[in-house]
Structure 1
């Protein structure tokens, strides 16, 4: 089966598919290319040099010679791919098609179609090779530029598998971060969100970096974001570059969130790791609001309302397996009780998260 728009007839193989026809880039020149129909010259690559970073499937070659020594940014943008994965980028020195002479400066598996940049330090007058490959043979069109100014977000190393994401049952996610002194010149921070299977991230908030009454910049920020539905979501907080471009945009924080509409207060199996809320301490038919958070980060793990039924002992069970798998050892619990008669009150507890059972 050939996907419409992605078959070989949709776009001819680029001339720089082979290294001897590599495309030479000028500083700040933006070129548009495609991995569709590209092949691999196996004698011109050596996957041992890049470890687990890349497997070559459909690469193409570029060359850049910097006019001056210093930091440069390889900007990859405008990706439109068949799959989610996007392109991979290797920056190296050496004689073309002589892997024994190669020295790898950077290897990046993007795993996304966001506009990203890779920072490299280059020497004046030395030619550098750029090898762009479709991640696991992804078919992509893209733009490529080498510049003294970064465009997009930094291509940071991938996070651990989303299986380690902290589960939440509230659609409202609290995103909190601290801004170090080294980024005090950033004019703003962007909060980005990407659903696991989405092609690109979306900007959810842009928060100005404000000064306090003493002229300094507040170190801590927080915003709330509402998820559109159940799923796995990656959040990134990016400090924007100062007007002079230095420092480049920087990822301040990133984390996965697993949102489910399932109620972990109801129905966990007895064999599952769980903690028991002391609901027997509250009046029957009282309306209870249970808020469970990570005591270190303050991230909301569970936000649930219920009516206390003393004849249902399982009502106070909270499954904790995913939290233990994510490394949590304790959780902060706030139980607000609205009794049928009398004033409401709130109890604050710090409970241990039971460890996962040992593997058989």
Structure 2
């Protein structure tokens, strides 16, 4: 007599699978809860426009971009005010300085006192980026008039001007980390252009139109780890990756957002994070072009609200249209920390938004996140990883 293997009743199998799923969900919830408790974040400093502290903030104060230099000690900001402001991080952090005002343990400064110096620009700025190899001496900027300029920060003057986008707004600028250094800009004209930074005229190396319909290029980032890839995010909802040695066609296309892609950031050589006005961030594997994870919680359906990745700690930061700062752990789709910045806004109408964020790329157990808002306020947050005692 043959012994046939025992078959489980389909319902029994279903219950077994269901209990396994419940166990998995419970473990994931525990892990996520641990991640939420893994960090202590606190607001340490607010830098605001002194004239507007008790009144309606001027629309011209809105901050659109924040960037740390390569030493992670200098911060540059840009936005609607037509100024590049330069700050030393040390002067924004708590220390023995009797000139600082304190409210509930938070340092309160105004831009005039906190800023080392500023450079006036001919147009509103949408993007700034420190030039590699310049040792903090040069900064590139893209503006609303479609012009890319480089500034010598020692002499505080423009040293390079490139106007190849037909007057259409430049949304994003970046530099490669290869030698020679290439620059790139993405614009409303639907192109990403690369140029040789050694040439005074900025000789064009390549022009790419990622989408067939000429949709706006909203973000450009070279692989900061030195690879030959440049990633481009477009209003056609996709991210395109190009090999800078041959840009005839994309080497990958990341398709998953439902609306315009506003930011793209490399987390490592093959992993990227994108942001979109569909209200979510996405983590991608560029080798397979697959989505690894989506992150939801922040509000984003119209504006650029910033995106920054802290590679050492695996944390993602972004702003929100409800005036909140959001931090995600790359391992889970829910935020691990949220900070509400003056919920009613200075004008009392609750109309503010966090429009730019930037992580300091140092340390592993402590971090610094700087954010900027539509009210012109600069905020500095510090985080520390909690020490766990093994049981």
Larger radius of gyration: 1
Name the TM tier (shorter chain).
Answer: under 0.3
Q: What TM-score do the two structures reach when normalised by structure 2?
A: 0.22
TM-score calculated relative to the size of structure 1:
0.23
